[in-house]
Amino acid sequence: MSGMLDQIDPLTEEALQALQAAGNLSDLDAARVKYLGVNGQFTALLKQMGSLPKDQRPEAGKRINIAKNKLEGLLAKQKEVLELAACLPTEPTDFTLPGRRPQLGKLHPLTQVTEDIVRSFRKIGFVVADGPEVEDEYHCFDALNTPADHPARDSQDTFYINTPNRPLLRTHTSSVQIRVMENQPPPIRIIVPGRVYRRDTADATHNPTFHQIEGLYVDRNVTLGDMKGTVEFVFKELLGKDVKLRFRPHYFSYTEPSLEIDFSSALTRKMGKEWLEIAGCGMVHPKVFENVGYNPEEWTGWAFGFGIERIAMIRYGINDIRLFYENDLRFLNQF
Ligand code: DAH
């Protein structure tokens, strides 16, 4: 039986080499089964222990244990190495390929339309001006020659803030006309995109907050003809060359004469109408010039205001204003 002791080292060596040589996990497992499995060669050697003479058993047990630890250690290490290798791509990786493109965000359709409007006006020398959304009655109404009993000031359709000087959420961007003129002398050529607020119940065409663009042009000898040309240029850029405009007499307290602008194109016909009302405008009222300290005998000007949602609805054929505020991706992804 001393033959058994002699077998330990060569068999261990053979098993170590087989484990080491395994190039993948299934080769490794085959080697494990061959030597360490229930019917493996190494296991068989263990089983022979019982038949050794008593005095040889401690020596044999010690050597077999050392050998077994070595084999199991190598097996575990090889398993780890080969498992990791199995996760790596088999094909070489081309790191110069372009990366995956994440879906980038987009600008909200109202922002896109606003930017287009601003871009058109910039081409003809207008600059963007800004003013506060929480306004005082003076800038929103009085300075614009809107008397205290005017319906526009009705608390029914205005959000007043319940503090002593009664600030309010501006009902239109016209308040910024006053703020700009108070702060700089003519000539003036501004547009004012911004948010406005009115006590409206939301429906397909109304919302308690929406957006407007105000325009103001002040210089010497400014005429209504300048305004017609300007507005026509911008609307044609925005909504197509086939745009036709119609000016109707109207009333605004801060302009005289005052007009409303109707608009017609293939887009309005698509919405089932020949003409759609799109903007208010007029020649700046002399009282307004007086209120900001401009001499109405020297300076002339025109102003206009229109709703951005309205333009976007016509441009894209949208029939419900509330879609702009719901942030439903199925809607937003279309722009
Ligand atoms: N502020 C008006 C509105 O909210 C729009 C408007 C009309 C603005 C005439 C103007 C203007 O500057 O001249 O309906």
Question: Of the candidates 212, 182, 190, which has an alpha carbon nearest to the alpha carbon of residue 279?
Answer: 212
| % of the chain beyond a pLDDT of 90 | 74
Phi/psi for 244 (5° steps) reads -120, 140
Question: For 113-171, what is each residue's pLDDT tens digit?
Answer: 999 999 999 999 999 999 999 999 999 999 999 988 887 787 778 999 999 988 999 99
Residues with CB under 6 A from ligand 1: 172, 174, 214, 252, 255, 280-282, 303-305
Quick one: which atom of ligand 1 is closest to the CA of 177?
A: 12
Q: How far is the CA of 172 from the centre of ligand 1 (A)?
A: 7
Pocket test for ligand 1, best of 247, 281, 306 (most atoms within 8 A of CB): 281
Whose alpha carbon is nearest atom 7 of ligand 1?
Answer: 280
- Confidence (pLDDT) at 186: 98
- Helix, strand and coil in the chain, % to nearest 5: 45, 20, 35
Superfamily of domain 109-332: Bira Bifunctional Protein; Domain 2 (3.30.930.10)
Query: Which one of 251, 304, 309, 311 would you pick to mutate in the ligand 1 pocket, going by the greatest count of ligand atoms within 8 A of its CB?
Result: 304
At 98, give phi and psi (nearest 5°).
-65, 145
The pLDDT confidence band at residue 246, using thresholds 50, 70 and 90, is: very high
SS3 266: helix
pLDDT in tens, 263-289: 999 999 988 899 999 999 999 999 999
Q: What DSSP state is assigned to residue 32?
A: H
Best residue among 190, 195, 252, 259 to mutate for probing ligand 1's pocket (most ligand atoms within 8 Å of CB) is: 252
| Backbone dihedral region for residue 319 (phi beyond 0: left; psi -120 to 50: alpha; all else: beta) | alpha
For the segment 237-248, the average pLDDT, to the nearest whole number, is 94
Alpha-carbon distance of 194 to 200, in angstroms, equals 18
Long-range contacts of 1-7 (CB under 8 A, 24+ apart): 1/48, 1/51, 1/52, 1/53, 1/56, 2/56, 4/45, 4/48, 4/52, 4/60, 5/56, 5/59, 5/60, 5/63, 7/45
pLDDT bucket at 2, cuts 50 / 70 / 90:
low
Residue 252 CA: which ligand 1 atom is closest? 9
Confidence category of residue 1, pLDDT binned at 50, 70, 90: very low
Give the mean pLDDT of the chain: 92
pTM over 0.95? The answer is no
Query: Cα of 213 to ligand 1 centre, how many Å?
Result: 9
DSSP bridge pairs for 296:
none
Ligand 1 pocket test: which of 126, 141, 145, 172 has the largest number of ligand atoms within 8 Å of its C-beta?
172
Q: Specify the residue with its C-alpha closest to ligand 1, atom 13.
A: 281
pLDDT band for position 7 (cuts 50, 70, 90) = confident
Distance 324 CA to ligand 1 centre (A): 22
Structure tokens at 276: 């759609």
